[in-house]
Amino acid sequence: MSGHSKWNNIKRKKEKTDAQKAKIFTKMGREITVAVREGGADPSVNGKLRDVIAKAKAANVPTDNIKRIIEKAAGSDKADYETIIYEGYGPGGIAVIAEALTDNRNRTAADVRHYFDKFGGNLGTSGCVSFMFSQKGVIILEMGERDEDTVMEDCFDAGASDVNFEEDGIAEVVTEPNELSSVRDAFEAKGYTYQSAEVAYIPATYSRLEDPEQLKKIGQLFEHLDDCEDIQEYWHNLENEEDIPD
DSSP character at residue 243: G
CA 110 to centroid of chain Cα atoms: 22
CATH topology of domain 132-203: Alpha-Beta Plaits (3.30.70)
Give the integer Cα–Cα distance in Å for 203 and 135: 9
pLDDT of residue 25: 86
Class of domain 6-74: mainly alpha
pTM of the model: 0.82
Is the alpha carbon torsion for 216, 195, 15, 113 positive or negative?
positive
Whether the domain at 82-131+205-243 and the domain at 132-203 fall into the same CATH topology: yes
pLDDT of residue 47: 84
What CA–CA distance (Å, rounded) separates 76 from 94?
Answer: 42
For 82-131+205-243, give the CATH class: alpha beta
* Domain range annotation of the chain: 6-74, 82-131+205-243, 132-203
Output the tens digit of pLDDT for each of the chain's 246 residues.
333 455 455 455 445 566 677 888 888 999 999 999 888 999 989 988 988 888 888 788 899 999 999 998 888 656 688 999 999 999 999 999 999 999 999 999 999 999 999 999 999 999 999 999 999 999 989 999 999 999 999 999 999 999 999 888 999 999 999 999 889 889 989 999 888 888 899 999 999 999 999 999 999 999 999 889 899 999 999 999 989 998
